Every structure is written in structure tokens, then in C-alpha cells.
Structure 1
Amino acid sequence: MSSQTTAAAPPGGPAMGQATGAVSPRTWIAVAAGMLGAFMAVLDIQITNSSLKDILGSLSATQEEGSWISTAYLVAEIIVIPLTALLTRVFSLRGYMMGTTALFLLFSTLCGFAWNLESMIAFRMLQGFTGGALIPMAFTLVMSKLPPQKRATGMALFGLTATLAPAMGPTLGGYLTELYGWPSIFYINWVPGVLLIAGIAYGLDKEKKQLDQLWNADWLGIGLMALGLGCLTVFLEEGNSKDWFDSAFIVTFAGLAIFGLLGWIVTSATRAQPFVNLGLYGRRNFLVATGLSAVLGMGLYGSAFLLPLFLGQIAGYSPMQIGEVIMWVGLPQLFIMPFVAKLSSKIDNRILCSFGLLLFGGSCLMNAYMDATTGYDQLMLSQIIRALGQPFVMLTLSNFAMNGIAPKDMASASSLFNMTRNLGGSIGIALLATALTQREHFHSARLGESVTSFSLATQERLNAMTQAFIGQGFDPANAADKALKAIDGIVRRESFVMAYNDGFFLVGCILLSCIAILWLSDKVKSPSGPGGGGH
């Protein structure tokens, strides 16, 4: 199989510098530009989270309606990722990357100019559709333009975009909103976007477009895929706020998702040339890697969902203060990733990935014992441990997924691997949002059983608080009422804290249980060119 290692170029020309192993500065500029694109696309999933209150205020929308701002982006992104392989063949890697980035910048700017909720949702969807393609294309650039021995470095850079961006999104969003207002979170895309277009224009050779592939494409399969993945994402994102299967809306989307996904699988199996090769899931290493990639997405987006919520609701942090806490998941990764890239070529990647899952899962379990006073100082250690673990998981899973993949399947493998991680993120957030709601009700009921007017401790606390309010100048009736409300507030706050702890405990247990599944895959070390080395 080693004869394949020099043939990892997409249709349209040989991979630059692969025969000798030397990589020209031009190629590195193209790869770096691709990473910038992936970082920007992942960042934009989360960037509206900390600014949502301001956005909804100026668009006169409710919190529930506002959830569609991120759902619309996610739906479009998850649909375009599997399409990337086909669109890259049609428009060429260079043409498609430059074109889709230009459109992404246009729709980002329109998001900043949105005049009502409907226009914002429409522009966010178009932004997701043009930005989503940048994620798998960055991955494809590493696999097709770098020789096997340089791929660990490329994978390390890609890993940073996937793990840093979810942590940095709320931070950057909160910071920009506080300083320049919420439209700035969309305008900021112009900085990396223009650099990306320039980098790709300089770093990649022009290739011939193959527009005829559009007419011969499996449009039935594409339609079913869009229906299945789109409806599945809506089902996951909106399920909790609409009480899952008690809502006819959610039941409809669940049915359409099943129909679309099953139809996609059937048409893909019966076509000689499917637009993306689902048969790759039949390879054990790829299946294990993509399954774990979904769990990684669950952990990445799940922890990035829980912690800002906890800090905002319980600790009363501002978006900028939340950003300062979350920053510690990002910063150490910049220094760890090159070290992990070196280790990945010397040590069995299953050992490295297990170590990463242990750290990542352990850091979530550390967050399962928070109380109402937990803040920046108490969270620092768990954040740093999480930052140390994530690169070990991300980089090694990329190696497992791409090990032994033939050059013609590179774009498909990249699309499926990245699609699965994003889907895992949606599943994780849906699971945690539901768990938060249910566990808060559960703990509230349990605490309510203990905190009754018949309980001596409650009576003493109520009397003490009533006296304190009387001391502040309230009349006895008002003071007693305020004391009751304060006790009720404490019960609600404590039940929420316990629910957040349960959420982190759940994520931690899922991540740790994956260590056993990981050992079902074959031994891999990088550099592992497609088919080269690593068995």
C-alpha cells in the first residue's frame, strides 16, 4: 500500500512537494490559510452565545426564538460538510475555497445589518452554508498537500482549530460586544477572511473546473442527506425547549430525519458514484475514530455550553469575565499541540488518545463538585487539565480516521469525520440542556421536601432573615415575605448548581467510557500517509 503515499493529491494535479518530502513556503501558506478558515467557521457556531441577549433586544425577539440564530447556522453547516467533496471536484479546491469565503464574508456582514429576527436567521443560515465547507477543506489540504512525514504538524494545526475555537467563541463574542456592540462579532470575520483568500490565491495552483460533475451528481442522495441531517439538527437543537415528543413539531422533524437518513444510506449503497462515500464507515478504524469524534464534539461543545451558563446564572459573571475563565481551555493548547504532534509519530496513538480522554474526562468530573461560590480561582485547574487533554484526543483521532484511506476517498473521509464531530456537538448540547432541565426539577423537589415550614432549621433561618430585613427598615409582614422569597431563591439556586454538577458528571463519564472503545481500533502512529505506515 505504500505506493499510495505519494499520490495523495485531489484530481487536478499532483500534491506539491510530496515526492521529496520538502514542502514549499507557498504550500505552508495555503495550509495556514485553510486553518484560518476552519477556525473562523467553528468560532462562528458559538460566537453569538454570549451576545444573544443584546442581539435579541435589538431585534425584539424572545429567548426561545433566539435559539434559531445558532440552530440555523448549525443546520446549514452540517448539510454542506458532506457536500464539500463534490463541490471541491466541481469548482477545484482553490476556486471553491476562495468563492465560498467571499460569500461567507458577504453573509457575515449582512448578519451585522439584520433588521429583524427573520432576516438574521436567513443570513445565519447562508453564513453556515458558506462557512461550513471551510472545516473539511482545511483537513483535506493537510492530507493532500503535505507529505506523510509533515502531516502530524498539519493535523496539530487542524486540531487547534477544532478545540480552540469552541472555547474562544463566547470569549471573543463577549469581548467584542462589550466594546463595540454586537454587529462587530460578524464584521470581525473580514480580518481572517481576507487573509484566507489571499493565502489560498497565492498558495494553490489553478486547476480545471469540472462543471459537468454537477449535472451527473446524485441529486436524490443530496436531497435526502440535506433533509435527514437538517431535520436531525433541528430536532436536537429545539427538542428540549419544545418538550421533545410532546410537540407535534418535534415528532414531525424526527420522522423526516429518519426518512432522509435512511434514504441517503440506501441511495448511497446503490449508486456507483455516490457524492460522498458512506462505505468508509465499514472500515473499523474509521468507524471507531468517527464515533469517538462525535463524543469529542459532545465534550467540546457540551463543556463550552455548561460552563458559561453556570458562570452567568450562578456566579453572575459578565460575558467578559466568563471569557477570562474559558480562555484557560484555549491558551495552553497552543503550547501543547506541537509536543503532541512529535509524540504521535513515536508512540502508539491509542495510548496518547487514552491519556487525553483521561485528562478531558477527569477535568469534567472535577467540575461535578461545584457550589454557588465557585468562580475563576476554583475553575482554573480543571480548565488547564482540559486544555492539556483535548489536543491528545483531537490529533490522534484524526490520525486514526485517515489511516489507510485511499487518495480518492480523502475528501469523503474528511467530510464524514468533521460532520460526525459537529453532529456530536449538537447531540451533546441537546442531551445536556434536557438533563439540566430535568435534574433541576428533581433537585428542586428533593430540596423542597427538606426545606419546609415544619423543619426546625428552616424556621430558625426564616426567623433570622426576617429579623435582618426588619433591621433594614421593612415592616414585619414585608420582612417575613422577603425572607420566604430569599429561601425560595436559595433552593432554586442550589438545585441549579446540583443540575450543572450532574451535567459535568455525565460528560466526564461518557468521555472516560470511550477509552475502552478506543482499543477496538488498530495500532496507529503518524506519520501515516494514506495507506502508508501505522498498521
Structure 2
Amino acid sequence: MAAEASRAAGALKPPTAPAAAPPAPEPAVDTRTWIAIFAAILGVFMAILDIQVTNASLREIRGSLSATVEEGSWMTTSYLAAEVVVIPLTAFFVRVFSARVYMLGNVALFLVFSTLCGYAWNLPSMIVFRALQGFTGGALIPTAMTLILTRLPPSKRTIGLAWLMLSSTMAPAFGPTLGGILTNLYGWPSIFFINWAPGMLMLAGLAYGLGREPLQLKLLREADWPAIASMAIGLGSLIVFLEEGNSKDWFASDLIRGCALAALLGIVAWVAILQTRDKPFVNLSLFARRTFGVSSLVGAAAGMGLYGSTFVLPLFLSEIAGYNSLRIGEVIMWMGLPQIVMMPLAAAFAKRFDNRVLCSIGLLLFAGSCFMNSTMDATTGYDQLVFSQVLRALGQPLIVLTLSNFAIHRVELTNLSSASGLYNMARILGGAVGTAILATTITLREHFHSARLGESVSLFSGAVQERLEQLTGRFVAQGSDPVSAGQQAMVALDHLVRRESYVMAYNDCFFILGCVLTGSIAVMWLADRVIAGGK
């Protein structure tokens, strides 16, 4: 009886749950894959560097090509427009040509067009070669991110993204420095020829590290060319509108009005056409996902801060402090050097802490550095700017790395290429929008401050009369007659007012950047909680 009862009780026991299967081990990453990824990251550095590297040498290039300041700006505009247009197309072109063929082809063409830029014989030829350079260089940015996301297991992606983000933030910091050094030593063509050094390393690394894959050229016949054409017209026109608008007094120019209309119609047509497609070449619906949309929006704000600060600060150092390109580079470089140490720490923190917290800290540091720069005066120089640059360098890795983690959070493997392209497009567009806003702010606020200061500089003021007497005496001592010396004193006083007006306008720009970055902290907390490598 006891035995029967025991058997009956055993039969009534619920079945034991099977032991949970251990998680499948991640595949090991071989050396060839790491070589390919680091070669691709080198390409990102080279492509972004070439946006900034010409800024320190524009005066020499314009002189050689007999171009005005306004005409010379097209060298940067054409590069940036082509870069923004090609970024959303990279996922499609990778499917058509394979990652290996597409990346090798773009690197080779980038080197050819860089060389042609060095040999440009007039401004139109330079603009064309810069556009072709931007079209091939821009493709290297999202393809590098796609390689990291598709060739590395989740546990390794954070370190790969960390190196990628380091290259994208270091390039704007070192671009003016490198351009100034090369121009001073070897002339401006050398800033284009130097691309052959990293370019050959890239070609070797990609050829060795990426395996051959079949081409799918038939996709070219099936491509959605109306959507691609409308996108190219819309984004290209938008960049021209943003980059050239301030110098042409915005809507007072027929060109700017035309670009604004073309940008509006092109982008609306692009979005409308893609909504009717079952398989669009880029998945714009990713923007509707809360976390991806937040990462793109905050990424645009961070791009505004990064490109805006590297636009305004060199202007201040050149126009107010009187620094040459090499000395400007020494200041800007402090925005890059500390990142070499900070980026690995950011990668480690991203695996342990809520990325929203880390991004908020980074935004706060970056905003704090901008607010520090909003109190500059005409005597501010290298010693007073180093700390704010270091503070900026500590914040940027926390921002860019965590934002890339948000951009890929819960994104399916089939959408990773689209996510990479759209996120990078948003970041670069944010930089273009920010630069346009700041350029306009400098113009408007300089006029405002000049008018306000001019109201207080009255010839009936005792302080003004005393200052004019001092300046007149100085010019008389230098050999001028009393009448000419008086006129020179008035001119010098006017220059002093204009100088202080520009200083105040630059301060306003940094204050705007600080406010935008601070406001982005609230937006950041709309995203999901993310820990790199977690769920």
C-alpha cells in the first residue's frame, strides 16, 4: 500500500521544467574582420577631416584660384551637399555592389578626386572635384557603421562604435591644425595629396579584411529612381540654402529662394513616394520609432554643437585674437586630445549604466563649455580657452557613443543599414543647420550690438573725448598732421566699437549652443532605457 501511495504521489507531481539552455556563445571575431573595421574607421576620419581641412587654407586657395570670399565658400558647400545626398543611398549601393567592391571603389575614387582638387586650375573645376570628393567620401561614413553593426557580435559593437565615434569627433578638431601645418610647409595642394597616406592603408585593409560577395546589378534596374532623384534634389538644395543663405542675404537672393523651393518640393516628394513603396531604398519609418527619433533629434543638436563650436571659435581667434591657422589649431586641438582617453571610458560606462544618464552628463559638460565661451572678451586667448575645450572633449564621447547605441536599439538586422544612414544624415544636417543659424546670428547680433554701443559713444561724453585725444596724440607722434590724426582717431574708435560688437555676437552664438544642448537633455529622457549589450 505504501509503495502504491508513493507511486501515486509521484504521478501527481508536476513535471520538472527542463533546464534552461545556456546562451549560445557569440562567434569569435577574426583578425581580418577587425582589420576591415579599423580601415573603415580610418575612412570616416579621412572623409570628415576633408570637410574641415580646407578651412585653414581658404585664403591661399582663393588667392591661387582668383576667387572671392563668397565664391570660395562653394568649395565647402559642394562637398557637404554631395556627402549628405549619398549617405542615405549607401545601404542600397552596398546591396548592389557588395560592401567590399563599394568601399574599395569609393576609396579609390576619393583619392583620385582628392588629387584632382590639388591640381584644380580654376574655381569651377575645384567645385566639381570637391563635389565628387564629397560623394565618394560621404559613402564611407555610414558603411563603416554598418560594418560594425553587422560584422561584430553585440558584446563587441560598443568598442567598435567607440572607435568610430572617436574618429568622427577628432576629425573636426584636427582638421584646421593639419590644414594650417601642411599649407605653411608645403602649400595648399598638400592638404589634398596627404589623403594618399591613409587611403593606401584603407585599400589594403579593406581588400584583405572583406570577403568577396556576389554582385546584384539587377537591382539597379529595379531601383526607385524617382525617389532617389527627388531626395538628391531636396537634400542638395537644402544644403546650398543653409550654407550660402547668409552670405546672399537669404530670401533677397533668387538663388536662395529657388533652393528653398527645390528643397521643400524635393523632400516632400521623396517622403511621399517612399510611402507608396513596399520595399523603399531607405526606411524613413524608423524616424517614427521613439528611441530612434530621439537619437536622431539629439544627434542633430550635438552636430550643431560640434560643427558650430568649430565654426565660431576659429572666427573669434582669427578676427579678434589675431591668431594664424597654426595657433588656432593649437587651441582647437584640445577639443580632441582628451577624447583619446575618454572614449574607452565612455565605452565601459555604456555597458554598465543607463545611457540616458551618460548622454545627459555629456550634454551638460558640452553645454557648460559653451556657456564658458559666452563670456569672452577681446583679450581672451589660448590660456583662457583650454579648460573649456577640455570640458567639451570630456562631454563629446559620452554623447556620440550613447546616441549611436540609442540609434540601433531594437532595430532589426534588415534595417541596420537604413538606421546607420539616416542617423548620420541627421547628425550632419544638424551641423549644417547650426552653422547657418550661427552665421546669421553673428551678422544680426553684430549690427544690434554695434548700434547699441554706438548710442553710448557720444562726442559729448568726457570719456570719449579723452580717448580721442589719446589716439590723436599717438598718431601725431607717429608723424601724422593734427587733422589727419583726428580722422585716424575717429576710425580707430569705430574699429574698437566694431570689434567689441563682434565679440558680443560670438558670445551670443555660444550662449545659443549652450541653450540648445541643455534643452536636448529633456528630449533625451523620452528614449528607452538602454545599456549597451543589454536588452
> How far did residue 175 of structure 1 move?
1.1
Write the distance in 2 (CA, Å) between the matches of 1:343 and 1:392. Answer: 9
Match of 1:25 among 31, 53, 59: 31
Question: SS in structure 1 opposite 2:164?
Answer: helix
Residue 19 of structure 1 and its aligned partner are, at CA, apart by 5.7
Does structure 1 residue 339 correspond to structure 2 residue 345? yes
Q: Counterparts in 2 of 1:152-163, with a 5 A limit? A: 152-163=158-169
Q: 1:236 corresponds to which residue?
A: 242
> Residue 270 of structure 1 is aligned with which of 276, 285, 290?
276
Q: Superposition RMSD on alpha carbons, in Å?
A: 1.0
SS of residue paired to 2:73: helix
**1:494 aligned onto 2:500:** yes
In structure 2, what is the Cα distance between the partners aligned to 1:142 and 1:510?
30
Q: CA deviation at 1:21?
A: 4.1
State the Cα deviation string for residues 31-55 of structure 1 (Å, max 9, x = none): 1001000111111111111100000
Aligned ranges 1:9-158 → 2 under 5 Å = 20-158=26-164
C-alpha distance in structure 2 between counterparts of 1:189 and 1:474, whole Å: 52
Where do residues 436-455 of structure 1 align in structure 2 (5 Å cutoff)? 436-455=442-461
CA apart distance, 1:476: 1.1
Paired residue secondary structure (1:316) = coil
Q: Which runs of 5+ in 1 are unaligned?
A: 1-5, 7-17, 528-532
Question: Shift in Å at residue 468 of structure 1?
Answer: 2.3
Aligned residue identity for 1:313: E
* Match 2:391 to one of 364, 385, 396: 385
Distance in 1 (CA, whole Å) between partners of 2:526 and 2:96 is 37
* TM-score of the aligned structures, taking structure 2 as reference length: 0.95
Taking the aligned partners of 1:197 and 1:472, their CA distance within structure 2 comes to 61
Q: What residue is the counterpart of 1:187 in the other structure?
A: 193
2:302 aligned to which of 296, 311, 314:
296
Which of 405, 411, 427 is the aligned partner of 2:411?
405
SS of 1:369 mapped into structure 2? coil
Distance across 1 between alignment mates of 2:194 and 2:111 = 10
3-state secondary structure, aligned to 1:22: coil
1:320 corresponds to 2:298: no
Q: CA deviation at 1:252?
A: 1.0
1:219 to 225, 246, 250: 225
1:485, distance to aligned residue in structure 2 (A): 1.1
- Alpha-carbon separation, structure 2, partners of 1:447 and 1:254: 35
Q: How many angstroms does 1:204 deviate by?
A: 1.1
1:336 is paired with a residue whose SS is helix
Shift of 1:479: 1.4
Q: Once the 2 structures are TM-superposed, how far is the Cα of residue 516 of structure 1 from its aligned partner?
A: 0.3
Q: The residue matched to 2:378 in structure 1 has which SS?
A: coil
8 Å Cα contact 1:107-1:126 kept in structure 2: yes
Q: Which amino acid aligns with 1:62?
A: T
1:19–1:67 distance in 2 versus 1, CA, 3 Å: farther
Identify the match of residue 365 of structure 1 among 367, 371, 378: 371
- 2:472 corresponds, among 459, 466, 473, to 466
Q: Which runs of 5+ in 2 are unaligned?
A: 1-22
User: Which region of structure 1 is more displaced relative to structure 2, 340-349 or 24-33?
Assistant: 24-33
Distance 2:25 2:410 in 1: 18
2:323 partner SS: coil
Query: Secondary structure, in 3 states, of the residue corresponding to 1:78?
Result: helix
The code of the aligned residue for 1:384 comes to: V
**Residue 257 (structure 2) aligns with:** 251
Native 8 Å contact 1:21 1:147 kept in 2:
yes
Tell me, yes or no, if the aligned pair for 1:368 and 1:504 is still in contact at 8 Å: yes
Whether 1:484 aligns to 2:493 is no
Q: Which residue of 1 aligns with 2:425?
A: 419
Q: Counterpart in 2 of 1:14?
A: none
Cα distance change on mapping 1:480 and 1:119 into 2, 3 Å: same
Checking the alignment, whether the CA contact within 8 Å between 1:21 and 1:149 is kept in structure 2 is no
SS at match of 2:336: helix
Cα shift readout 1:372-391 (whole Å, capped 9, x = no counterpart): 11111000000000000000
TM-aligned CA deviation for residue 277 of structure 1: 0.6
* Partner residue, 1:526: 532
1:181-234 Cα offsets, whole Å, 9 max, x none, are 000000011111111111011111111111111110111100000010000000
Runs of 4+ with >4 A deviation: none
Amino acid at match of 1:470: V
Aligned to 1:61, the other structure's residue is in SS state coil
Secondary structure in structure 2 of the residue aligned to 1:207: coil
Which AA in structure 1 matches 2:130? R
**SS of the residue aligned with 1:136?**
helix
Shift, 1:481, TM fit = 1.2
Partner secondary structure for residue 390 of structure 1: helix
Structure 1 Cα separation of the partners of residues 25 and 459 of structure 2: 80
Partner residue in 2 for 1:10: none
Whole-Å Cα distance in 2 between the matches of residues 506 and 282 of structure 1? 28
Give % identity.
Answer: 61
Partner of 1:9: none
Please say if 1:285 is aligned against 2:291.
yes
The one-letter code of the counterpart of 1:466 is T
| Matched-pair contact (CA < 8 Å) for 1:301–1:425 | yes
CA apart distance, 1:465: 1.6
Contact 1:295 1:511 in 2 (8 A): yes
- Structure 1 or 2, whichever has the larger Rg, is 2
User: Helix, strand or coil: the match of 2:506?
Assistant: helix
Amino acid at match of 1:50: A
How many residue pairs are counted as aligned between the two chains? 513
